[in-house]
Amino acid sequence: MNIQIHENKDLTNFTTWGAKFTSQYFAELDSVEQLSELRKVSEFTTGRRFILGKGANTLFANDFEGFVLHINLRGVELAEDDGEFESYWVGAGEDWPTIVEYFVMQKNLGGLESLALVPGQVGAAPMQNIACYGATQEDTFVELEAYEIATGELKRFSKDECDFSYRMSRFKSYDKDKYIITRVKYRLKKLGADDKRVEVYESNYESLQYFLNQFGKPPYTAQQIFSAIVELRNYKLPKVSEFGSNGSMFANPIIPRAQAEELLKQFPKMQIYPHTGMTHYANKDVNLEEMELVKIPGGHIFEEIGYRTMDKYGMWNPKMHKSGKVGAWRKHALIATNYGGATSRDIYEFVMQMKQDLFDATGIELPPESNIVVS
Ligand SMILES: Cc1cc2nc3c(=O)[nH]c(=O)nc-3n(C[C@H](O)[C@H](O)[C@H](O)COP(=O)(O)OP(=O)(O)OC[C@H]3O[C@@H](n4cnc5c(N)ncnc54)[C@H](O)[C@@H]3O)c2cc1C
């Protein structure tokens, strides 16, 4: 099918913010074959462009003067089965939460259960190496296929070649905007009906443990972990169908340990974590004294400097709930939220204010985790 190019397309429903913006040029990519056709479109190859999944990690500050390519590459294909593990190629345009539910709940395959309900597409998961509750997509990742825009070649990248780190990969850093990820392969464990996972979710994940308690004592099956995570996330995070957000707007800052210790004087309740992980149960064994760099929880610091939309009595904080339209999420201060009717500009200005306030209070320059696009 020929690729259709639209002009001045309204993309309000193409991100998770629910805020209106348009794109000068827009097309849906439905097949890999269309890519060679797209390479002949000068507005795409020479102008400014943006590859868009669900927009769950992207904020357009205003109308986009360039070309938005929305990925709609579908399909799930069994690649290998060695008796113990099954590997699948998954199209970059598949919905991540749907695919995770399918593998865990329908196929009883283990590995992705902790990444339940992370909004977005499969192609964006390796891009920023999505992670939560001690699991990252790289744990089950095998390889991906990507289209190099400059040469028109389809290339494969192994896990090592992707250069994954905390919320990062080569595609988000030195190879940004060079490739279109077309499909991703994951290796998942075949679980028997009564196969218990060995992981013990305890200690730092008190909130997760609370939802796991309904299944008794650990260890838990992948399906139980999936269910507990779905309940926890539904409780704690804004539902994308109701409130606009990008989840955490900023990554947790990684700073020298000496600076973190200095900050402790200002914020005595602040926790410090190894820079390699975050509230992971394995961190119990890590000696922070030996680390030059550590990670600190951005959400906690934002709360300390006043970024709560509601106080403990449920009253709105007028400063942070600017114009009644955009503010920090009431249960997690790192999450900028469209409470209804905010424009893209309102959200952008609020996020910049967050960044500035944190810098003024701590001297820490916080890079946004979300992709902020300013035209
Ligand atoms: C409520 C909420 C909770 C969240 N919780 C988490 C969480 O727990 N952990 C976490 O890690 N993230 C979380 N996020 C962030 C978000 O879910 C992930 O970053 C997700 O991977 C974004 O997917 P997307 O398809 O929406 O990406 P988009 O926002 O559409 O794109 C993100 C980036 O990837 C690029 N991109 C997308 N698809 C492709 C492709 N096929 N090829 C090349 N480049 C591509 C885009 O150009 C852009 O640079 C949360 C977001 C929300 C709204």
Which range among 31-45, 189-203, 249-263, 294-308 shows the weakest confidence by mean pLDDT?
Answer: 189-203
The CA 44 to ligand 1 mean position distance, Å, reads: 22
Domains along the sequence of the chain with CATH: 6-71 (3.30.43.10), 76-197 (3.30.465.10), 244-370 (3.90.78.10)
- Tens digit of pLDDT for each residue in 186-202? 999 999 866 666 554 55
Both tokens of residue 321?
């709930």
Sequence-ordered list of residues with C-beta below 8 angstroms from that of 318, at least 6 positions apart, any chain: none
The predicted model gives 112-123 an average pLDDT of 97
The CA 121 to ligand 1 mean position distance, Å, reads: 7
Q: What is residue 280's predicted lDDT score, i.e. its pLDDT?
A: 41
Burial of 54 (0-12, 13-18, 19+ CB in 10 A): buried
The CA 118 to ligand 1 mean position distance, Å, reads: 8
The predicted model gives 64-82 an average pLDDT of 98
**Is residue 279 very low, low, confident or very high in pLDDT (cuts 50, 70, 90)?**
very low
**Is residue 50 very low, low, confident or very high in pLDDT (cuts 50, 70, 90)?**
very high
Q: In what order do the strands lie in the sheet with 22-29?
A: 6-10, 22-29, 64-71, 49-52
The DSSP bridge pattern shows strands 141-148 and 135-136 to be: unpaired
The CA 70 to ligand 1 mean position distance, Å, reads: 13
pTM for this model (two decimals): 0.93
The CA 263 to ligand 1 mean position distance, Å, reads: 31
Averaged pLDDT of the chain: 90
Q: Ligand 1 atom 28: the closest Cα is on which residue?
A: 55
Q: Ligand 1 atom 23: the closest Cα is on which residue?
A: 120
Q: Is the peptide bond before 367 cis (omega within 30 degrees of 0)?
A: no
For residue 56, the ligand 1 atom closest to its alpha carbon is 26
- Tell me: pLDDT of 106 over 70: yes
The predicted model gives 324-337 an average pLDDT of 89
SS (H, E, C) 32-49: CCHHHHHCCCHHHHCCCE
Q: Ligand 1 atom 49: the closest Cα is on which residue?
A: 371
Give the residues surrounding ligand 1 with Cβ less than 6 Å away. 16, 50-58, 71, 92, 118-121, 123-125, 127-128, 130-132, 179-181, 237-238, 240, 245-247, 371
For residue 136, the ligand 1 atom closest to its alpha carbon is 11
Give CA–CA dist 71/91, Å, rounded.
9
